[in-house]
Amino acid sequence: MKGGRRLVSGAGLVVLLALTGCAGVPAGAAVPAGVPREVTEADVPYNLTDVLFCREMILHDRQAITLAGLVGGRTADPYVTELAREITTAEASRVEALAARLRAWQFTVPDASNPPMHDMPGMLTGAQLVLLRGKTGADFDKLWLTTLARHTGYGMLLAEKARDEGKDRATKDIARALAATQRAEVAEVATHLARLRGGR
């Protein structure tokens, strides 16, 4: 990712090079007898979309947990409180599942204490988080729900891409379920937000 630290190592890097088509021997060159054939993309049970989805969704879900953690003491809305609780539980579980996929493929898992730099759309800036921390009551609810809907909407796009273009069955299953869940969540949040704005 642009501006970030090295994201893969070891066997994962070798496979990633194969997935992206890097090779040191010209196409069609004769291979000496007894030399094992070259590993091709068809031999790998996952593709680059699977890997990027797992890494980016881990970062995305961890920020959703951060968002949920802002709710305590700032709202009296039961819907917001319950949604934050559900997010914390669901996202933490999914982070573990996605991390397991990366480990199985011998890719590194993003460090929670020192995450890699990234330029992913939909991710909150430090300034946006500071703004949320300065709100309480109805003002907080409206800003938090608006922010969450945008954040979740991008997660849905990530999931849809992995669902449609991924290769690993387990990862595609996670993405398929996530895309449907987050589409429903965005619609539900929008409905509740409309009610809040209508009551001002």
CATH of 10-198, one of 1.10.3090.10, 3.40.50.720, 1.20.1260.10, 1.20.1250.20: 1.20.1260.10
Q: Is the pLDDT of residue 90 over 60?
A: yes
Give the C-alpha separation, 186 to 154, whole Å: 10
Mean pLDDT across the chain: 86
Q: Is the pLDDT of residue 64 over 70?
A: yes
Confidence at 73, pLDDT banded by 50, 70, 90: very high
The C-alpha torsion from 8 through 10 and 16 to 18, rounded to 10°, is: 160
Instruction: Count CB neighbours of 1 within 10 A.
Output: 14
Token pair belonging to 134: 């300065």
> What pLDDT sits at residue 158?
95
What pLDDT digit, counting tens, does each position of 134-183 carry? 999 999 999 999 999 999 999 999 999 999 999 999 999 999 999 999 99
Q: Where are the domains of the chain?
A: 10-198
Q: Is the pLDDT of residue 15 over 80?
A: no
